[in-house]
A and B are shown apart, each in its own frame.
Chain A
Amino acid sequence: MASDVRGGHVGRTRAFQALAVVGIVGVWAVAASVIDNSARLPNPLRVPGNAWPLIQSGELQGHVVASLRRIAIGYGTAAVVGIVVGMVMGAFRPAERLLDTPMEFLRPIPALALVPILLALVGIGETLNISIVFYASVFPIIINTVAGLKEVDRTYVEAALTMGAGRTAVVRSVLLPAALPSIMSGLRIGFQFAWMSIVGAELIGAVTGLGFMILYYAKFVATERVVVGMVTIGVLGLVFDRVLLVLWKVMTPWAQR
């Protein structure tokens, strides 16, 4: 019985969510039809019609793959570097003292502000785009890893030591798993940042990718195609976030209450 009631409740929530989406798109469509100038306001009803040729020609898929590749490399590197740096900082006090201030200084600087320096450093090209994704996502991963490690109760470490664990075993079998829930949420936030940075990352020097596609069609005032790019970024971002959430739940079953 209780589940029936809950099921009904969920059903109603879903209905309201759908209503909200339909409502927003509806108001938007009406406004766009009245204005009737896609340079001022793109018409959502014309978005599917604009999406279809992009999909049929494979253009959209090509951009998706290009963006995903940059995300995979930039975010993947950020995940590895972030966890390693975070673990070193979290486990060794001197490392934290050394790195904390420069990190706190860099963190609020948006990735795009670094573009001139990055240009000089790595030049125009794929490395630049990937570097921006990396920079955007590495800090939340480091910070959450450090926080996760510092929150590990000392008792766990001591229990392991009194069961014959050495230094390496303490790190691998105690510190890492104990900090894993926090590391995983750092990875999730990091991914969101990486994904949000993709348009900026493809601002300079890229001739592929969803960010490039948006900027490209914006130049031709093909605003409905810009919306196709936006929707693709939104949907894919949501999907990947859900995947990470599921992964998080599977990998840390003890943290789910």
Chain B
Amino acid sequence: MKLAKFSAVGLAAALAASTALAGPDDNSLVVAWGSTGPIENVDNYFNTNRTGIWFSRMVWDQLIYRDPATFEMKPLLATSWEQTSPTTWRFQLREGVTFHNGEPFDADDVVFTLNWISDPDNGVKVQRNVNWIDRAEKIDQFTVDLHMKAPFPQAFEFLSGPLTIYPNEYYAEVGFEGMHENPVGTGPLMAESIKTAEEYVLVKNPNYTWGSPKGEAQVDKIIVREIADVQTQIAELLAGGIDITADITADHVDQIGGVPGFEALQAGTMRTGYIGFDAAGRGDFEPTTKLEVRQAMAHAINREALVANLIRGDARVIHTPCFPTQFGCDEDAAVKWDYDPEKAKALLAEAGYPDGFDIEFYTFRPADWAEAIMADLAQVGINATLTRMPYFALRDKQRNEGTTPIFLMDWGSYSMNDMSAITSHFFKKGPDDFALDDEVAAWLEEGDTAIEPEVREAAYAKAIEKITGELYWLPMFNHVRNYAMNAELNFIPYQDEIPRFWQYGWGDS
């Protein structure tokens, strides 16, 4: 074809031209982002978008820093902490930190932020992040007490994650709309301009020199461009218009990695993929309510082949309804299902479907994953038809109608290293629960609220065993994030799916 010839010529041209890239020359970094869609408001408390998670790490700081490699809790805006009662933590705050607008950081900011976000009337979007907070109390200029409504073992997951500290005077004045237009924090980067759904320009915070474990910004300027279409992102990357993208596929990694001047890599994340079954019969689809049928499907699906060929990188098959590094996620508690199509056929016959059945398969992820799974199901006689929907539409359908007998989905746990962020979200009889199992819900409740780690672990283990044994979910694999970038960029991938763009610099620095 005409095009095949073009491509050979074109690649040569791309190679020749790939030296003239703008990024390293003026020490700026241009990032393409977009597959998760534009963020509605960069105010960390008023978006539910993954973009918001990494954006907040650039502009703001939390009280506590969780080392993404070791999961260790380290001082950030708080220098030390102690538990003074089962529901109270006392924090010593760091002195000498200033916000981007010059406002000095002290206890007033922390108290204001925590009290403001925990007031339901202020309408913070993700109430789950804040609704465990009772109130914060100023002890002296650099000491704060945090009172919780009840003992809350996951508190530090939130304090080191979504709960960023805002400047009290500024925020009281401008509110979340002003914070969107001109975000002000203590973080390594300062917002220069915010154009919703188009472009965010951030510059290095020169005062971020107090020894933060997050490190100083390595470039002078970061420009984040919202580009929805992955192909457009790649075109920009190859043409030198952007320096890094994180939205590409595993195949792009091989392809772009082969072009001189570019580097591409895969990094495993804790985002956990699963196949959900309508075991509770919410959609009145009979076959999936039968355990033998779910077992048959679990045996029919070749997860190893899927991971090895389509996901690749350091993705692996997961057997737990949570990511194994998460607290409470005990792999030994899980019932494991191996690939065994013969057994699957036998189980189907046992369940009364010797000739299989027709089923609708739902996903919002790339069709090829679903197609591979559907081909496996077809091998044992289950004829699945795919309905691929946008994420929001599929979620609405699930919550509203529940007519999704089998679905391939995934959950990023808000990058929190605690099993409650995933399993408890789905199996405590909320709108996303297709098991509706009282026992599981009770165990998860116990695990979420108990103080003793051993008690939590024991309760969670029981839940894991039943969820996998009854096959409410067939856990699939952890996702990998695929990155491609200018080869001169010093890039560090993290498992929690949060890119720390300020840490990336040019050349040998």
Q: A and B: real partners? A: no
Interface, chain A (partner B; CB < 8 A)? none
